[in-house]
Amino acid sequence: MLRRLYEWILALAARPSAPYALGAVSFAESSFFPVPPDVMMVPMMVSRPDRAYRYALIATLTSVVGGLVGYAIGALLYDSVGSWLFRLYGLDKGAETFREAYAHYGHWVILLKGFTPIPYKLVTITSGFAGYDLFWFVVLSLITRGARFYLLAFLVGRYGVSIRTILDRHLNVVAGLFAVVLVLGFVAFRYML
């Protein structure tokens, strides 16, 4: 099943709809979807390294726009949707502590956690919940998400053939490692609260 998904993403990269699919996943990941856009972006970049930076731009912009939806969930809907998402991820008990940390370290929280495997939707929702300045939220989100996705584009551009060989030969291992990193991101976020 994983191999079929990988092959589908590689085939998708050749279609005109590829940027739209990437944009949709990147948008959704920043507000509610649990799977990061890297899962789609890496195979697309490997398949079309000439479009790697274009894909990075699309992921950056749609991630920030999706982050605004996450921010709105935290600011306007925290008592219903936002708290439900935090409970779903087991983070509801530390949300208030995390909110207080924004008073002192909000800019560092956004910059550092937006670049790491910690789910970005948790940062966006909490930023809205904490009432973090919207202008700075957008600026810092552009910086951190752009840095993450453009670094990925650079690495694929530089090591794309090697990356594709590794993915073709060891897809299950790479997917397993990625899943472990994703779970560790959730755990790290939970214990940082």
| Tokens (6 digits) for 102 | 């924004």
- The whole-chain average pLDDT of the chain stands at 80
Q: How far apart are CA 101 and CA 107, in angstroms?
A: 10
DSSP H helices in 48-119: 52-76, 83-88, 95-115
Instruction: Please check whether residue 39 is in contact with residue 185, taking contact to mean a CB–CB distance below 8 angstroms.
Output: no
Cβ burial, residue 128 (10 Å; 0-12/13-18/19+) = buried
Cβ burial, residue 191 (10 Å; 0-12/13-18/19+) = exposed
Instruction: Please check whether residue 193 is in contact with residue 98, taking contact to mean a CB–CB distance below 8 angstroms.
Output: yes
- Per-residue pLDDT tens for 73-122? 888 887 777 677 667 766 666 666 766 777 778 888 788 888 776 778 88
- Per-residue pLDDT tens for 13-26? 778 888 998 998 88
Instruction: Please check whether residue 72 is in contact with residue 138, taking contact to mean a CB–CB distance below 8 angstroms.
Output: no
Residue 136 has pLDDT above 90, yes or no: yes
Residue 60 has pLDDT above 80, yes or no: yes
Residue 11: its H or E element: helix 2-13
Kindly state the average pLDDT of the residues 48-69.
94
